[in-house]
């Protein structure tokens, strides 16, 4: 085991949580390591208070409670208490950097050696020559996150062999210049065995055997039952590590707001027996004023709880956020420097335009605090939260520790702008035959995706979500042109909850000063202009008509979760997108080249 400390000021806490968490592979100057589990993270991180997120994560993990802490800081001062993150050397197989003499024209050969054959980090060959080595780039892994070294002797011989006991040399041949797997071969000194790495990439062949459930980042004796086919994984590939994250926005205690409002008019409400009677009482001026911005369901749930007849439900992450953002009060939260949330509603006359007729409310979020925690990780396929912000319980992710008592987390402080859409406008749009036809078209692509991901528990999010998600990407591109920082610094939060409401929140996505420049709030003050620009930009893509006519169910392109969407129009930086650029279709937002009639927004007129 070796210890790796992050250089002061070079790696942010957010990068540790999202990229370099437990189980991630990192290249060091002389070898590669696997970041150890949380038991191997030395103390020193600060507590990140966020009770709502802590409670949710404890439920997901099935534990009594869990703390949220920042990753341990680095300190190069030798007199300071020991802090840092421990790591395990991985992989244990290396290849020599110098090339063997060419046995045939155009072929480069390197020795493939195990860590135990190294002396002071170098391989001493039979001629007593010291050769520098680098870690081999191929390892085996499975979708559950398990990982291990390839058994190179078994792979090269396509079965068991005694060449390992006889210490016969293995070679890695590059029989071409492209680096393609078909040109990379593993060869044994015995002269009877060689095999192409392309065979290892075919999962059905089980060329790398079955997964043994190894979890080396958690230390020794931590294997668990698995049995999935082992897959070939390139250590530096983008699919080698996906952090499973959950985030919440720190909000004023909504239940406390409801409780205090009901207290103020309890003399009127103590006789209420049902929702209809509550609606009658709300006609009274005193009750109407006290309960402004609070739904009938919230008030009635509080009334039942006071009588011991019911307990307020455990709201999903996004439901709690949406209810706060949709509150009709002019201000929500406290306007103070140390505050975590402060928002003001923008008067309708400031943004009311013909193309904004489906918008119900615009909220400028002057202060916002987002807390993000890592729950686990996956390999090969990412696992995003569902449309209500909850983690998918059907996804098998790898654990960060043997016994979890805390999780790595970080907070973003910044600003944002929230756009609430009319529920009636979305329902009317959904009722149009052209929209329903487009929905079947997109669902066919999702069905194709599901066939290839038979163990996935992902559900189709629905057309309102796809439309709002696509609109959000268009808006991010338009906002970035005038807000003062790049699109990669802006993050989205999509709210498409039929029984609650619909909206889009754009917020700053960094944890440093870049998130406090005030650019999003300033853009929000003229949001009608920005939305108009987004609509105009989205009508035509540089890849049209190919983009606009993309078939989600096409097995040729294999972009099953995309409608009219590509890098020329909707795809943005993945950290900015809550679905990793899935579930996008420009045709649901604006009129595209085929003129399908499924668009939600009408094009602004030139003189509007």
Residue-wise pLDDT tens digits, 263-288: 888 888 878 888 888 888 888 888 88
Instruction: Quote the pLDDT of residue 78.
Output: 53
The upper half-sphere exposure of residue 83, i.e. CA atoms within 13 Å in the direction of its Cβ, equals 18
Return d(Cα 220, Cα 36) in angstroms, integer.
Answer: 11
Q: Which of 290, 293, 389, 291 is nearest to 343 (CA)?
A: 293
Instruction: Check whether 608 has a pLDDT greater than 80.
Output: no
Distances (CA, A) of 308 to 230, 256, 266, 301, 311: 54, 17, 16, 11, 7
| Helix pair angle (317-325, 51-61), 10° resolution | 160
SS3 (DSSP) at 464: helix
Could you read off the pLDDT of 33-74 as tens digits, one per residue?
A: 899 999 888 876 788 888 888 888 888 888 888 888 888 876
- Selection from 220-229, 386-395, 446-455 with the highest mean pLDDT: 220-229
Return d(Cα 62, Cα 66) in angstroms, integer.
Answer: 10
Query: Mean of the pLDDT values across residues 3-18?
Result: 50
Q: pTM above 0.75?
A: yes
Under the banding of pLDDT at 50, 70 and 90, the label for residue 531 is very high
CA 391 to chain CA centroid, nearest Å: 11
Return d(Cα 305, Cα 496) in angstroms, integer.
Answer: 28
Instruction: Quote the pLDDT of residue 2.
Output: 41
Instruction: Quote the pLDDT of residue 8.
Output: 34
Return d(Cα 138, Cα 233) in angstroms, integer.
Answer: 6
Instruction: Quote the pLDDT of residue 7.
Output: 35
Residue ranges covered by each domain of the chain: 2-90, 93-234, 253-325, 334-390+411-588
Query: Mean of the pLDDT values across residues 441-451?
Result: 89
Q: Which of 150, 115, 109, 152 is nearest to 135 (CA)?
A: 115
Q: Which of 396, 260, 246 is nearest to 318 (CA)?
A: 246
Instruction: Quote the pLDDT of residue 382.
Output: 78
Query: Mean of the pLDDT values across residues 241-247?
Result: 87
CA 149 to chain CA centroid, nearest Å: 27
Query: Mean of the pLDDT values across residues 392-408?
Result: 80
Instruction: Quote the pLDDT of residue 3.
Output: 41
Instruction: Quote the pLDDT of residue 307.
Output: 67
Pairing of strands 122-124, 118-119: antiparallel
Pairing of strands 122-124, 331-333: unpaired
Beta bridge partners of 366: none
SS3 (DSSP) at 188: strand
Under the banding of pLDDT at 50, 70 and 90, the label for residue 443 is very high
Pairing of strands 67-69, 406-421: parallel
As a 3-state breakdown, the chain gives helix, strand, coil percent values, each rounded to 5, of: 30, 25, 50
Between 317 and 443, name the one with better pLDDT. Answer: 443
H or E, element range at 466: helix 463-479
Return d(Cα 472, Cα 478) in angstroms, integer.
Answer: 10
Return d(Cα 231, Cα 381) in angstroms, integer.
Answer: 12
The upper half-sphere exposure of residue 293, i.e. CA atoms within 13 Å in the direction of its Cβ, equals 19
Mean pLDDT across the chain: 83
Between 559 and 428, name the one with better pLDDT. Answer: 428
Instruction: Check whether 90 has a pLDDT greater than 70.
Output: yes
Q: Which of 165-174, 212-221, 311-320 has the lowest mean pLDDT?
A: 311-320
Distances (CA, A) of 183 to 173, 199, 272: 8, 11, 77
Could you read off the pLDDT of 138-195 as tens digits, one per residue?
A: 999 988 889 999 998 898 888 888 888 888 888 888 887 777 888 888 988 888 888 8
Q: Which of 26, 445, 41, 454 is nearest to 236 (CA)?
A: 26
Greatest Cα pair distance, the chain, in angstroms, is: 97
Instruction: Check whether 303 has a pLDDT greater than 60.
Output: yes
Return d(Cα 140, Cα 209) in angstroms, integer.
Answer: 9
Instruction: Check whether 408 has a pLDDT greater than 80.
Output: yes
User: Do 364 and 524 meet the contact criterion of CB atoms below 8 Å apart?
Assistant: yes
Instruction: Check whether 103 has a pLDDT greater than 70.
Output: no
SS3 (DSSP) at 231: strand
Could you read off the pLDDT of 360-371 as tens digits, one per residue?
A: 999 998 888 888
Share of residues in the chain with pLDDT > 90 (%): 23
CA 28 to chain CA centroid, nearest Å: 26
Instruction: Quote the pLDDT of residue 10.
Output: 43
Question: In 10 A of CB 392, how many CB atoms?
Answer: 17
Instruction: Check whether 359 has a pLDDT greater than 90.
Output: yes
Return d(Cα 347, Cα 187) in angstroms, integer.
Answer: 72
């Amino acid at each position: 085991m070796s210890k790796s400390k992050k250089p002061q000021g070079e790696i942010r806490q957010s990068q540790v949580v999202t990229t370099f968490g437990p189980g991630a592979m990192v290249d060091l100057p002389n070898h590669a390591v696997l970041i150890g589990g949380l038991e191997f993270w030395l103390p020193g991180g600060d507590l990140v208070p966020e009770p709502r997120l802590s409670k949710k994560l404890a439920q997901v993990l099935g534990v009594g409670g869990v703390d949220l802490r920042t990753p341990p800081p680095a300190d190069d001062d030798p007199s300071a208490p020991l802090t840092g993150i421990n790591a395990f050397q991985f992989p244990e197989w290396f290849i020599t950097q110098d090339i063997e003499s060419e046995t045939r024209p155009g072929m480069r050969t390197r020795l493939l050696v195990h860590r135990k054959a190294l002396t002071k980090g170098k391989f001493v060959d039979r001629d007593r020559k010291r050769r520098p080595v680098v870690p081999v780039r191929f390892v085996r892994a499975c979708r559950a996150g398990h990982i291990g070294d390839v058994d190179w002797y078994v792979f090269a011989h396509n079965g068991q062999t005694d060449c390992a006991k006889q210490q016969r040399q293995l070679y890695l041949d590059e029989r071409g210049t492209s680096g393609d797997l078909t040109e990379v071969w593993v060869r044994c000194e015995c002269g009877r065995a060689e095999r192409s790495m392309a065979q290892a990439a075919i999962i059905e062949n089980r060329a790398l055997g079955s997964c043994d459930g190894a979890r080396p980042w958690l230390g020794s004796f931590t294997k668990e039952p698995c049995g999935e086919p082992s897959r070939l994984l390139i250590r530096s590939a983008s699919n080698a590590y996906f952090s499973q994250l959950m985030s919440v926005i720190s909000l004023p205690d909504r239940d406390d707001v409801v409780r205090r409002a009901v207290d103020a008019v309890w003399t009127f409400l103590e006789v209420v027996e049902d929702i209809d009677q509550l609606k009658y009482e709300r006609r009274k001026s005193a009750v109407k004023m006290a309960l402004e911005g609070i739904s009938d369901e919230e008030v009635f749930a509080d009334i039942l709880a006071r009588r011991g007849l019911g307990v307020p439900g455990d709201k999903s992450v996004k439901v709690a956020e949406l209810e706060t953002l949709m509150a009709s009060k002019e201000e929500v939260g406290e306007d103070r420097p140390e505050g975590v949330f402060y928002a003001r509603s923008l008067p309708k006359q400031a943004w009311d335009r013909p193309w904004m007729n489906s918008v119900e409310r615009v909220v400028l979020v002057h202060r916002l605090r987002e807390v993000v925690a890592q729950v686990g990780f996956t390999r090969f396929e990412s696992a995003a939260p569902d449309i209500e912000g909850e983690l998918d319980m059907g996804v098998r992710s790898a654990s960060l520790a043997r016994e979890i008592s805390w999780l790595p987390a970080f907070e973003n402080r910044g600003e944002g702008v929230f756009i609430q859409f009319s529920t009636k406008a979305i329902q009317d749009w959904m009722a149009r035959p052209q929209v329903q036809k487009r929905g079947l078209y997109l669902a066919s692509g999702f069905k194709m995706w599901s066939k290839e991901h038979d163990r996935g528990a992902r559900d189709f999010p629905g057309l309102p979500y796809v439309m709002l998600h696509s609109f959000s990407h268009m808006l991010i591109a338009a906002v970035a042109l005038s807000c003062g920082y790049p699109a990669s610094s802006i993050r989205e939060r999509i709210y498409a909850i039929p029984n609650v409401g619909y909206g889009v929140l754009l917020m700053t996505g960094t944890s440093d000063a870049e998130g406090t420049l005030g650019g999003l709030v300033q853009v929000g003050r003229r949001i009608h202009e920005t939305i108009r620009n987004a609509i105009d930009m989205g009508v035509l893509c540089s890849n049209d008509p190919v983009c606009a006519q993309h078939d989600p169910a096409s097995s040729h392109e294999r972009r099953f979760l995309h409608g009219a969407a590509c890098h020329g129009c909707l795809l943005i930086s993945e950290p900015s997108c809550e679905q990793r650029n899935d579930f996008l279709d420009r045709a649901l937002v604006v009129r595209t080249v085929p003129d399908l009639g499924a668009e939600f927004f009408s094009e602004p007129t030139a003189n509007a």
